A and B are shown apart, each in its own frame.
Chain A
Amino acid sequence: MFLSSATLLAQKENIYTKSFKTDKNTTALLKLTGGTVEIESSPDENFHVEYSVEFDNYPKRKKKEVIEKVKIETQMSDNHITLIDKSKFYFNSRIYTLLGTLYKKDTTKVKNYNKKSKQDLIEQIKESSAPISFYEEMIKNSNRHSTKEKEELIKKYKSRKKKGYNRIFIIKVPRNIELTIDAKNTVIRLNNNLVNKLSVRLSGGKFIAKSLSNQSNVIKVKNALFLAENINGGELALNNIKKGLIGSINEANLLAEFSNLEIGEIQKNNTFKGFSNDILIHNFSADFKQFDLFLEYSKIHFFKLINDYELKAIGYNTLVNIGNTVEKAASSKSDKKETFFVKERSSEGLFSGIMNFDMTHGFINIHLVHDKNIKVSH
């Protein structure tokens, strides 16, 4: 009896379903404004669009209003698929605008830097990317409540019988097609290990990806939350990302501005360029080969490597802190770049790679691994 009534309470309504036949030359464009979209690998050679709404204790007479708000337009011409989400979920798009800016910068003067493994960071990404109600997210990130108050409020919220609906928008893309996403105030979830060539432009909302592997990827995200378990190849442009977590990064070009990033592991041949960032790297892979860094007015933190490596830093007006003491300082008087810090290879143990830093007006903070709770006053 209870089971049957529970089933009746949560009802799923399929609103839009469409499939397109594709080949290796097919391209697709998604234009999204607001809401959540899940992008997955297609089980076949077709491009599938599925839109459904799950109602929970929702009044019958109001369901129609919700369904009528969904407006998906799709078309295919010259082997190009265009999908435009014109759904008018006015409230949600505003919520997602805010979600991107909810995460406040950590303004405490003393920061704790704890070394995490790549897996630790991936777990943290999984936890942060789990679907969460807007109310819970608001409470968790609020500065107005204590931790105990937050727990109580969330517990109270969860125990309450809720009326509502959940929109499920899934797009399944075949492996070979080239995908372009142009989105604003949207939560984009890229599930599975996507190997498609991606071109993404997102402003506001959340960008959540499991694994993106393509040398030609171009991903531009600004004023949003950025979570990616693995980035393999391509270009990544991040702007005003107050919380950016990347599990591992390999053969990628990262351009970051006004962002706070935490990276689990630097793998082979990466180049980072940026301005006004705070970047924390937990690990380097055993064979990271080459890591080039060009930063202005930024801080780069990394933990002392287990394996042997080489580091050469050029620039000016930059300080190198090892542990918690200033080890080297590049001239603050000159505007001419010069070599100010070199760590030669020791030829002992496994050699992992070479780091080339070009830093101006910045900090290089090398944290010692044995320090469990390294405190850096910034």
Chain B
Amino acid sequence: MKQNIRNLFKQEVLQKKKLPDSHREGFLEKLTASKKKRKRITMLYKYAAIFSILFSIGFVVTNLFSKENNATDTALEIQLREIEKTYLENIDKEWQSFIVLTKDEKLIKRYEDKLGELNEGYQEISSQYKIDKNNMIVIEALIENLKTRLQLLQDIQQHINLLNKEHENTTI
């Protein structure tokens, strides 16, 4: 039963199959279709890869910087917010005692306008601060603005009190 395979091939006459006329076109069509599909898949992979790389870089970078900035900015911002809060509370306190101290409506209106004008200035400097949070000059300008408001209210009350005190003394 043992046979030589080579002899088997020699003996067998292979049937010659005739290929259809459209075989070449069909083959090329299939080939281009498969290429397009593969190209689409490769492009998708490329985009996904780029996206994931960019996302990872972005994540790492923002994380790194935000950690650093958050640490300094937050400390600074908290401090500034505290300063602002303290000043505004004091300004309000001085304002309340000022409107109790004087009955002069014209005077109150003038100070109201002046404080409003200073507040507008403060908003302008605040927008500069938002652009550059580490600029000490801007920060100092913010504080100076608050200080001016407080000083104006303290000065006018001191003026009125001194006037009242001196008048009392001269009457006595």
Contacts and interface: CB of A to CB of B under 8 A. Distances in A.
B137 A258 contact: no
Contact of B166 (A101, A257, A329): A329
Contacts of A317: 163, 167
A363 interface: yes
A68 to B, nearest CB: 20
A363 B165 CA distance: 13
A329 B167 contact: yes
Interface in B104-126: 104, 107, 110, 114, 121, 125
B29 interface: no
A300 interface: no
Contacts of B162: 363, 378
Contacts of B144: 98, 101-102
Interface in B82-137: 104, 107, 110, 114, 121, 125, 128, 135, 137
Given A98-B141, A98-B144, A105-B151, A326 B128 contact: no
Residue of B128, B145, B163, B170 with highest tally of chain A CB at under 10 A? B163
Contacts of B3: none
B140 interface: yes
B141 to A, nearest CB: 5
A184 to B, nearest CB: 10
Contact of A332 (B138, B156, B158, B167): B167
Nearest to B171: A329
Contacts, number: 64
B159 interface: yes
A95 B152 CA distance: 23
Given A95-B137, A361-B160, A105 B128 contact: no
A303 to B, nearest CB: 21
A270 interface: no
A317 B163 CA distance: 8
Interface of B: 104, 107, 110, 114, 121, 125, 128, 135, 137-138, 140-141, 144-145, 147-148, 151-152, 155-156, 158-160, 162-164, 166-167, 169-170
19 contacts: A91-B137, A94-B138, A94-B141, A105-B151, A223-B121, A257-B114, A276-B152, A276-B155, A297-B159, A317-B163, A319-B167, A326-B166, A329-B166, A329-B167, A332-B164, A332-B167, A361-B163, A363-B163, A378-B162
Given A258-B114, A297-B156, 17 more contacts: A94-B128, A94-B138, A95-B137, A101-B141, A101-B145, A102-B144, A104-B147, A105-B151, A105-B155, A297-B107, A299-B159, A319-B170, A326-B170, A361-B104, A361-B159, A361-B163, A363-B163
